[in-house]
A and B are shown apart, each in its own frame.
Chain A
């Protein structure tokens, strides 16, 4: 078995191992990896997320067991200090030696610290490793405690801006100091830099361009920067991010050829001047260049694996350095020859929109046939398409400016036209080097049948994720070209989508599950997916409650309560808008006491009574109804609450009566069955105490009416509702909401909240406005009429249930005994009770 020793366990070093493991000949080799950092390889590209709460483990490239599972010896906190090329051994800082057949140097780079007088002062940091970040964070805390707030970042390049954002996230005022007259001088021109500067300054960062630092002020700790032009900047901390230097010291001492400005010289096969030693990543000097990006580093890792295992692949002469990223919340992309440093005779086309903060530039060959490069700031959504046109030398439109302005002739086919027009070799995912041919191949071979499958077998989209929309388009197009329909059916019993079933039930007037299944199903007897769905559709279409055909209702709807851990239920009566009289509050307390229920205020600010047995439910509800309560539908896919702030009736800031309007809306939409739960919010002013923008529909009182927001939710994927209409009166709010909710109930997928529905609606918010406000489809009247029927036919389903002896039968735990379930056990907790925990 041949030994391969890898020095360096950074992103590229790890990628080398990963590629090696998946190579066919892996079992013929033994990998031994040394990393000098105290932890496994982690994602340095997303280092700033460390301050957003991500842990070192979150950033880690692999699990702890990955190396052992693959029989790789990983030595962390171990620095290789010597290579003995004659014996083919390496030695660590303790003097232990290890022999190798092949040696791979993936030593990476270190932060370049310019020789400025005073850089050794306290409070000067670099931005490279997790340890650097921890030290910076600790110092920032100390500063803040001492009331100091100013921090500078030396370097306005890509990494410097990342570092500045990190410093800002630490709660300090961040200043970016750049020697060049523009930000990101390697990627951006002056116009793009100006736009980026305006954007990041609007977020509270300060940019100082054309500044060369002469020395660092302060005695022991840094107090300021003295510039060569005589000006100064008082700061309490400095993070140096002025570029990188390849880590070539071990290679240099071993007599390997290095470049005059550093870097281990390699050929296209990634071999150093010693044919058994390879160098990859930021320590390698390839084509007389150091490539400081992850994508080329990964390619080098792949070439080295291939070479060592006897292959013939090599790095190309020209390596693309295109980048697309989000910097301080601003999209920035640069591709191909973006700056025309060689001053070739080409045409530059620029588009600048200061209002929207968007700058786009493309460089086009003089004859208008070729895209040479470009820059996007503020909106990089066209990056993928432009990059494909550039890298594949694709033909340009008649008017090349259409590429950044969009076609103005009404042709809306997108820049690329059809994704299937791309050549097979077109690289779709540059992080993982996945081509269009590989993606389509995965589908054609049957290896993958959907986007998730394509991602898992090609790894496309697992890096930065920027190519995901294109991977999805390609997957769908490839499936379509094979004649495979993308199925939307709800389960094995129905090939129809929820929307189709809605139409069928409406037109045919079906009122029983069996009718729908027998006439439109695939045979079989239904399941827990289609039964509740059709129950919900029939309830919406026929304005029924969940008491109809209760055996097909979702388990909570069947018993009109929420099942909890031990099989007991919780009970939530409706408290519209959160307004409740003292008498009703007392009644709730008395009832809870009577049945020994655990009480808690819910997330939707209602009062929840827990621990009711099945047999107790009707008794509790009889008491509640006698005290003027009705069902709160907390168990249903239906309207939950309309949360309100106290509004102008009490609040000194209130602009309108949020409580009154909230109650009106909650009573209007209560009980209606929808694809998923619906929540509303009404705030009396822009302080937004009701958190209305986190709801499916939200209203905020402003001068001259209400602002209506739609499509928000909390949950696993929180999303703010989007502004739908401004300064409208109560009547218009109801009109739009009736239409909006009805349209949602008609067209959403099963269990899809408004947020997800709206996000996937073709044409987006603009289309939604055309349908709801402008009535483009001519359905507004129908929608309003259907909603009116639902509103008028409302009936409290608990009142229905307790007044019907037949319905009451279902609330017995046993069909042959009045006893209760003796398996239920409670334990005391904070003066109340809770279910006995699960083992």
Chain B
């Protein structure tokens, strides 16, 4: 099962080679997430409206390898923006990907940019 994780690697903005046009801003719930398909990848994208920020990460939760993080609830813990997995409430930082309430492997995060009401996600390939 772990091979699912292998295709997800955190990408820094400066390393982005492809900006993928995902969907319109209005297609995403405010202060919630939705899942974007890019090639064989599933990416959870969150519109953190209260912070005026967008976040993207792998949709697969490293706990039980299910494609569910986009359906999780977002919020913050001591100022760190986070998502809680809907299956067992494992929480992950949307910035560093770190598991905030356990010692699971960190999740991969991706850069997001908004241009003309369109959401773009950054990939290396």
Contacts and interface: CB of A to CB of B under 8 A. Distances in A.
Interface of A: 492-493, 514, 524-528, 530-532, 550-552, 554-556, 558-559, 563, 565-567, 614, 809-810, 813-817, 819, 821, 823-824, 838-839
Contact of B48 (A525, A555, A810, A821): A525
Interface stretch (B10-18, B78-86, B106-114): B78-86
B76 A524 contact: yes
Given A555-B86, A566-B66, A567-B66, A816 B37 contact: yes
A461 B37 CA distance: 55
Contact of B32 (A492, A551, A817, A823): A551
Contacts of B75: 493, 524-528, 530-531
Contacts of A528: 72-73, 75, 84, 89, 91
Interface residues of B, number: 41
A526 B4 CA distance: 31
B23 A815 contact: yes
Nearest to B63: A838
A550 B68 contact: no
A563 B64 CA distance: 14
Contacts of B65: 838-839
B35 A813 contact: yes
The 6 closest A-B pairs by CB, nearest first: A551-B32, A555-B86, A527-B75, A528-B84, A815-B34, A567-B66
A821 B67 contact: yes
Given A814-B34, A816-B23, 12 more contacts: A527-B77, A528-B72, A550-B29, A551-B31, A551-B73, A565-B87, A567-B67, A567-B71, A614-B71, A813-B67, A814-B42, A823-B42
B28 to A, nearest CB: 7
9 contacts: A524-B75, A525-B81, A526-B50, A527-B82, A556-B86, A558-B71, A814-B42, A815-B28, A816-B23
B22 A527 contact: no
Given A552-B73, A813-B35, A823 B60 contact: yes
A825 to B, nearest CB: 11
Contacts of A817: 37
A819 B35 CA distance: 11
B45 to A, nearest CB: 7
Contacts of B50: 514, 525-526
Given A525-B81, A816-B37, A838-B64, A555 B72 contact: yes
Contacts of B31: 525, 551-552
B22 A524 contact: no
A559 B36 CA distance: 18
B80 to A, nearest CB: 10
A530 B42 CA distance: 28
A532 B86 CA distance: 12
A810 B60 CA distance: 18
A222 to B, nearest CB: 57
Nearest to A817: B37
A812 to B, nearest CB: 8
Contacts of B82: 527
A523 to B, nearest CB: 9
Contact of B30 (A527, A551, A614, A823): A551
A555 B60 contact: no
Given A528-B91, A550-B29, A563-B68, A815 B35 contact: yes
Given A809-B27, A814-B36, A821-B42, A839 B71 contact: no
Contacts of A531: 73, 75
Nearest to B84: A528
Contacts of B68: 563, 567
Nearest to B64: A838
Nearest to A523: B79
A769 to B, nearest CB: 38
Contacts of A614: 71
A813 B66 CA distance: 13
B76 A526 contact: yes
Given A814-B37, A815-B27, A819-B37, A559 B4 contact: no
